[in-house]
Amino acid sequence: MNDAAIMDVPQRSAEDRFRAEIADWMRAHLSGRFAELRHRGGPGDEEAFPELRKEWERELAAGGWTCVGWPREHGGRGLSITQQVIFHEEYARAGGPGRMGHIGEGLIGPALIRFGSAAQQKRFLPEIVAGAEFWAQGYSEPNAGSDLANVQTRCTQQPDGRWQVQGQKIWTSLAQESDWIFVLARSEPGSKGNKGLSFLLLPLRQPGISIWPIRQLGGGAEFNEVFFDGALADNEHMVGAPGEGWKVAMGLLEAERGVSTLGQQMHFSHELERIVRVAKQNGRERDAQIRQRIAHAWIGLRVMRYNALRMLAGDATSLGREALIYKYYWSNWHRDLGKLAMDVLGAEGDVRSDEPDIRALQQLFFFSRADTIYAGTNEIQLNLIAERGLGMPREPRGDSPMTTNNKP
Amino acid sequence: MDLTLTDDQLMIREAAQSFLADTSDSAAVRSAMASSTGFDAAVWQRIAGELGWCATAVPEQYGGLGLGPVALALLLEQMGRHLLCAPFFSTVCLAANWLAEGGCDASRQRFLPEIAEGKLRLTMPVNESANDWIDGKQVLRARREGAGWRLDGICARVPDAGTADWLLLPARLDERSGQHWATGMFAVPRNASGLNIDALETWDATRRFFRVELNGVTLMPQQRVDHAHRGIDGAMRSAALARLYLAAEQLGGAQACLDLTVAHTATRKQFGRTLASFQAVKHRCAEMMVRIEALRSAVYGAAAYAADSVHGEPPEALALECAMASALAADTYFYCAQEAIQLHGGVGFTWEYDPQLYFKRAQASSHWFGTADALRERIAAAVFA
């Protein structure tokens, strides 16, 4: 099986030329000292070569290939949606490493473009574009997981105008490699839920912040707990007004729309190719059940591709149903792929290995357990689909009378 | 590839939806099921005559609209949603599709314009194999007799054969084509001598099936209708498209199962609250929606792929796209029909409520053109090639 069999669709010639331009650039630059980064640093492998990957970000920046979807006036490349899709596909096809800059480029940058002050834009955006400053996100807390609005971290304004932050964030990826963190904190004492929250930008390297890695079930530790004990944010580093934090936070999550999903799918396709290669080598390709499951995985790849194309087409009559199911679909598909990979490996999968195919598939198996938990668990996704997609009743809150009325 | 539907396509979908909501509601479907022909002749007259749906994908040079597979798939989706009882699939998605892809020039001239005009109904046996007619395993035998042909054998299941004007029947020839027996396609009028057509009583009464027996049916030379050169590629393309159209119909059926279930659970109350307010029920409906939208992406994507594909290119890639949509559709439709019955509770088990109609159609259509397992095996063979 090759990429063409899985992914190619007819393209017009201007798009073909753009595709070739990126492929050529990647071939020329993802070589030499960067060659060992190919296919590395993705989810489950984010601890790989952090320093070299930061240099790779600057290499990308020098070629004008960071922030390709941002408007030109903010230092981006101003690519159309179609061109962005092509960029992400070709980047992944070439084995481009996991992006150290993705939180800056994909989350906080677009949020600052939409909600930030001119001064904030001037201060932060060029550094993101240049691959000079890296960002971490501070949303989740020990008691604010699926219930994201249940933020306990507090911020209090000091006489000098600065904001002092007290509390704890969790599941912060790459905190030890990042320079800045954005934090959702409660600025109105006594407020509840999504009211009274503010959105702050803090330098990570300061006395009031300590970072503790969380060891994951697969042995890696790309996530952290971040403790704030008197950490300080400048007054001009609040995005939006005090109390508007929820609006900014939600707008930021919306910014990540379909364009990068096709690059993610190229990565998935590469993983399926690894499984097929292993199955051919060890003879599992003759197992009828394994053949069924591999065909089923191939079908899922086609579904995700066409689903992403529907998202990009923005069929107004579908009310965004395809976007609503996407996270649930891909994460469960990917988790199943991890199990398939280990079943194809058989006993070989039980032994730690540095052989590239085996190591990558073991990482896939372990890390894909997170896919159905982060960014909205399966259970939250099904609630959202039922409520927003099918108009079914909302879940009762813990403090509503519904729970006491449940007695038969 | 752009999956944005054009204004014309949106209009076709909208018009089909509103026409079928009026003419193919539950009462109309049940009345057609109980009728002798299995469909309402007046509704068929409007579909084939006034609305011109049979002309949708027929090439313009043969009097059709030439709107291609996307428009036809959108129509089929609405037909499946409303369980339309009509000889549309047999005439348009089997026979006209096969003629356009694999028929000789004379046969296209002879049949396609009248099909497009809604004046002629044709049918073909459903090929219950993932192998597209070309494996030489046809049950009918054709022998040369004089300048013409003599056909013998039995086709166990042919849709709408009792009301079709003509039957297109594939038959094994007494000659080899590569490693297989060669196959020819023959056009036989329903009233041909030596042709016996017996109605089958199927559990899915929204479609009519017939056992067709041929005892020395003699045919003129021009009644062999396959194209001399493009027979095999045409057969593969038409089989792929037939799978796509069936998948579109199954998508509509699956959507109807979800719609019925959401509507039922919104009104039925137990323990002082609607069924729809229970998370166990919400999650099962949401799971149906996930699978349905995944199938919709597969069907619309495969249809767009088919619209971009051209005659003359190797048909294997198109075959895989449509096998993908078809395997997913068979499983998704059955899953949703089964969930609809379960989530309707006791009334879902009754004749009176509609989930049973979808359930029976989901099962009966799950093995046309190959089971989901067989289609996945075909995909696996390509992936491992």
- Do A315 and B262 make contact, defined as CB atoms within 8 angstroms? no
Q: What percent of chain B has pLDDT over 90?
A: 88
Q: Establish if A68 belongs to a structural domain.
A: yes
- When pLDDT is cut at 50, 70 and 90, the band that residue A407 belongs to is very low
pLDDT band of residue B103 (cuts 50, 70, 90) is very high
- Residue B2, domain member (yes or no): no
Q: Give A102 or A82, the one with higher predicted confidence.
A: A102
Q: What is the mean pLDDT of residues A393-400?
A: 81
How far is the C-alpha of B81 from the C-alpha of B250, rounded, in Å? Answer: 8
- Give the domain-ending residue among B223, B239, B257: B223
Look at residue B256 and tell me if it is in a domain: yes
A391-405, B19-33, B363-377: which range is least confident on average? A391-405
At residue B271, φ and ψ (nearest 5 deg) are 55, 30
Which residues 325-344 of chain A have a CB within 8 Å of chain B? 325, 328-329
Neighbours of B264 (CB within 10 A): 20
What are B271-324's pLDDT values in tens digits?
999 999 999 999 999 999 999 999 999 999 999 999 998 777 789 999 999 999
Q: Is residue B98 part of a domain?
A: yes
User: What is the distance between the alpha carbons of residues A130 and A104, in angstroms, rounded to a whole number?
Assistant: 11
Same domain, A208 and A327: no
Q: Is the pLDDT of residue B160 over 60?
A: yes
Same domain, A295 and A382: yes
The model carries a pTM of 0.92
| Mean pLDDT, chain A, integer | 90
The CATH number linked to A193 is 2.40.110.10
Residue A294 forms part of a structural domain: yes
Residues of A in contact with B296 (CB under 8 A): 310, 322
State whether residue A298 sits within 8 Å of chain B by CB. yes
Contact A299 B286 (CB under 8 A): no
Confidence of residue A6 (pLDDT cuts 50, 70, 90): very low
| Residues A344 and A283 both lie in one domain | yes
Q: For A182-240, what is each residue's pLDDT tens digit? A: 999 999 999 999 999 999 999 999 999 999 999 999 888 889 999 999 999 999 999 99
Give the confidence band of A405 by pLDDT, cuts at 50, 70, 90. very low
End residue of a domain, out of A217, A243, A269: A243
Domain count, chain A: 3
Domain that holds residue B327: 231-384
* Domain boundary pick from A186, A221, A243: A243
Q: Which of B90, B121, B152 is the last residue of a domain?
A: B121
Considering the domain boundaries, does residue A223 fall inside one? yes
Residue B116 parent element (H or E): helix B105-116
Asked if residue B126 is part of any domain, the answer here is: no
What pLDDT score was predicted for residue A402? 46
Does some domain include residue B366? yes
Kindly calculate the radius of gyration of chain B based on its CA atoms and give it in whole angstroms.
Answer: 21
The whole-number pLDDT of residue A258 equals 56
Residue B103 and residue B28 share a domain: yes
pLDDT at residue B207 in the model: 97
Residues of chain A with C-beta less than 8 angstroms from the C-beta of B9: none
Q: Which of A47, A133, A244, A256 is catalytic?
A: A256
Do residue A227 and residue A270 come from a single domain? no
Q: B286 with B306, same domain?
A: yes
Whether residue A378 lies inside any domain: the answer is yes
- Give a yes or no: residue B260 inside a domain: yes
Cα dihedral: B277, B281, B283, B287 (round 10): -130
Residues A83 and A161 in one domain: no
A123, part of any domain? no
Residue B156 inside a domain? The answer is yes
Residue A369 shares a structural domain with residue A276: yes
Whether A60 maps to a domain, the answer reads yes
Res A406: pLDDT: 41
Do A159 and A274 lie in a common domain? Answer: no
Burial of A286 (0-12, 13-18, 19+ CB in 10 A): exposed
Q: In the prediction, which pLDDT does B217 show?
A: 97
Q: With an 8 Å Cβ cutoff, is B276 touching chain A? A: yes
Instruction: Classify the C-alpha dihedral B75-B81-B82-B85 as positive or negative.
Output: positive
pLDDT at B191 over 80: yes
Looking up residue A35, the CATH number of its domain turns out to be: 1.10.540
**Alpha-carbon dihedral angle through residues A378, A384, A389, A392, given to the nearest 10 degrees:** 110
Q: Does the annotation mark A256 as catalytic?
A: yes
Q: Identify whether residues A269 and A297 lie together within a single domain.
A: yes
Residues of B in Cβ contact (< 8 Å) with A386? 282-283, 285-286, 289
- Inform me whether the pLDDT recorded for A4 exceeds 70: no
- DSSP secondary structure string for all residues of A86-151: HHHHHHHHTTPPPPTTHHIIIIIHHHHHHH--HHHHHHHHHHHHTT---EEEE--BTTBSSSTT--
How many CB pairs below 8 Å do chains A and B form together?
146
Q: Which residues of B touch A385 (CB under 8 A)?
A: 286, 289-290
List all residues of chain A from 85 to 124 with a beta carbon under 8 Å from chain B: none
Q: Do residues B171 and B31 share a domain? A: no
CATH code at B160?
2.40.110.10
Contact flag B10-A322 (C-beta cutoff 8 Å): no
Same domain, B269 and B356: yes
Residues A270, A173 share a domain: no
Kindly identify which residue of chain B lies nearest to residue A314, measuring between CA atoms.
B4
Same domain, B259 and B365: yes
Say if residue B358 is in the same domain as residue B264. Answer: yes
Cα→Cα distances B141→A322, A408, B217, B231, B309, Å = 48, 68, 11, 18, 33
Q: Are residues B246 and B339 in the same domain?
A: yes
Q: What is the pLDDT of residue A54?
A: 97
State whether B338 and B354 are in the same domain.
yes
Task: State the smallest CA–CA distance between residue B338 and chain A in angstroms.
Answer: 19
Q: Are residues B39 and B90 in the same domain?
A: yes
Determine contact: B18 vs chain A, CB below 8 A: no
A114-156: per-residue pLDDT in tens?
Answer: 999 999 999 999 999 999 999 999 989 998 888 888 999 999 9
Alpha carbon distance B335, A93 (integer Å): 35
Instruction: Note whether B323 and B193 are same-domain residues.
Output: no
Identify which of A262-266, A321-325, B135-139 has the greatest average pLDDT.
A321-325
Residue A230 lies in a domain: yes
The region of weakest confidence among A119-123, B236-240, B337-341 is: B236-240
Q: Say yes or no: B172 and B258 in one domain.
A: no
**Same structural domain for residues B194 and B255?**
no
Range of the domain at A96: 9-100
Between chains, do B277 and A390 touch, taking CB under 8 Å as contact?
Answer: no
CATH (domain of A358): 1.20.140.10
Residue A257 clears pLDDT 60, i.e. is over it: no
Provide the shortest C-alpha distance from residue A384 to chain B (in Å): 8
CATH number of the domain where residue B277 is located: 1.20.140.10
Amino acid B136: pLDDT: 59
The shortest C-alpha distance from A139 to chain B (Å) reads 26
Whether B357 is in a domain gets the answer yes
In a domain, A369, yes or no: yes
Q: Which residue, of B176, B194, B223, is where some domain finishes? A: B223
Percent with pLDDT over 90 in chain A: 73
